[in-house]
Structure 1
């Protein structure tokens, strides 16, 4: 599905990612873990095209998309939910969803599907998004990305800074999405237990390099924490 092959990227003359290769399955989760500053967000920005690769390739669905703009990658089926529970704060919850759904042949159906996935949003459709809690905004951000019908969804710290009850709802939604078998997920996540449980493949990133990787079900939290201490 999505492959990053020996990718190098960074900011200006500062290289942050040093030859990283990861692979996201077409119907499962690849989790990337690591301390703050390890380069996780930078890696995702390279995958979605917000940062140019100085070398290496990004392959999606068998196509080299390394030189494509972010909009072209989204059109091919990449969805991206950055950190920060991003939304249009002055618009209502429903208007945030409609902005993405408008112009899509099955837009209303797609909105309904996301409201089924995140039922807590149904009672908040008329509320301005800026008045939602952090967890509610994160659910809204994921729902908006899913309306684009991605083949691969890139999630950057989807449970960061969110109350535990909503964390559980978001984790359940990610698990449900991948259980359906038609969506790949590239997940950056600080909750190691959930990341390992949800993923088919995991990678530990430290100082812009992969220091450990393996099958999600084959590793323990202790293994990952040990790799992160390197």
Structure 2
């Protein structure tokens, strides 16, 4: 579904990614892990089209989208939830959702995925907890009907019970078979439970990769300890 081929990218003359290759299969879920400064968010910015590549290719559903703008990638089925639980704080939860879709059936569908938001539709997003804002951010992206969902640190600063809910949502979405997920995450256990495969970045290079699941925990911890 999404593929990065030998991608080098950065800011100005500074290279942050160096020859990174990554593959997210259709209907699959892949985690990217690494310490702060490893290049994880830069990788996602390249995938979304917010940062041009210096070398390499980005393919979405087999199509070369390396030079396409972000809105064109969204039109081809890419959905992006950036880090930071972003919302429009002075608008209500419902108004945040209606910015993407005014179809009641579509909104009702994402509220089935995040039922806690039903009781918060009239509350300003700026008054929601961090976990509630993160659920709102993911729900808003799901309203675009993506086939490829990219999540940047979805558990950062969120209470454990909401982390468990988000983990359940990712599992339910990928179980449908029609949605691929690329997840950047610091919490190794959460990342491996939520995905089928992983990549570890260190100083902008892939230093380890393999199948996901709890059995990969020791291998990932060893790779990230280097």
TM-score by length of 1: 0.96
- The runs of at least 4 aligned residues of structure 1 exceeding 4 Å deviation read none
Q: Which residue of structure 1 aligns with residue 71 of structure 2?
A: 71
Q: Which residue of structure 2 aligns with residue 150 of structure 1?
A: 146
How far 1:218 sits from its partner (Å)?
Answer: 7.4
Residue 226 in 1 paired to residue 222 in 2? yes
Q: Which residue of structure 1 aligns with residue 204 of structure 2?
A: 208
Distance between the aligned counterparts of 2:14 and 2:202, measured in 1? 16
How far 1:47 sits from its partner (Å)?
Answer: 0.3
TM-score by length of 2: 0.98
1:1-230 matches, within 5 Å, as 1-102=1-102, 107-217=103-213, 219-230=215-226
How far 1:129 sits from its partner (Å)?
Answer: 0.3
Q: Is the 8 A contact 2:193 2:214 kept in 1?
A: no
- Structure 1 residue runs of 5 or longer lacking an equivalent are none
Distance between the aligned counterparts of 1:108 and 1:20, measured in 2? 41
Distance between the aligned counterparts of 2:190 and 2:57, measured in 1? 29
Distance between the aligned counterparts of 1:196 and 1:206, measured in 2? 18
Residues 109-130 of structure 1, C-alpha deviations (whole Å, 9 max, x = no match): 2211110010000000000001
Q: Give the aligned CA root-mean-square deviation in angstroms.
A: 1.0
How far 1:229 sits from its partner (Å)?
Answer: 1.7
Give the 3-state SS of the residue equivalent to 1:16 in structure 2: strand
How far 1:25 sits from its partner (Å)?
Answer: 1.6
Distance between the aligned counterparts of 1:204 and 1:25, measured in 2? 17
Distance between the aligned counterparts of 1:46 and 1:187, measured in 2? 14
Residues 64-89 of structure 1, C-alpha deviations (whole Å, 9 max, x = no match): 00000001001111000000000111
- Structure 2 residue runs of 5 or longer lacking an equivalent are none
Aligned length: 226
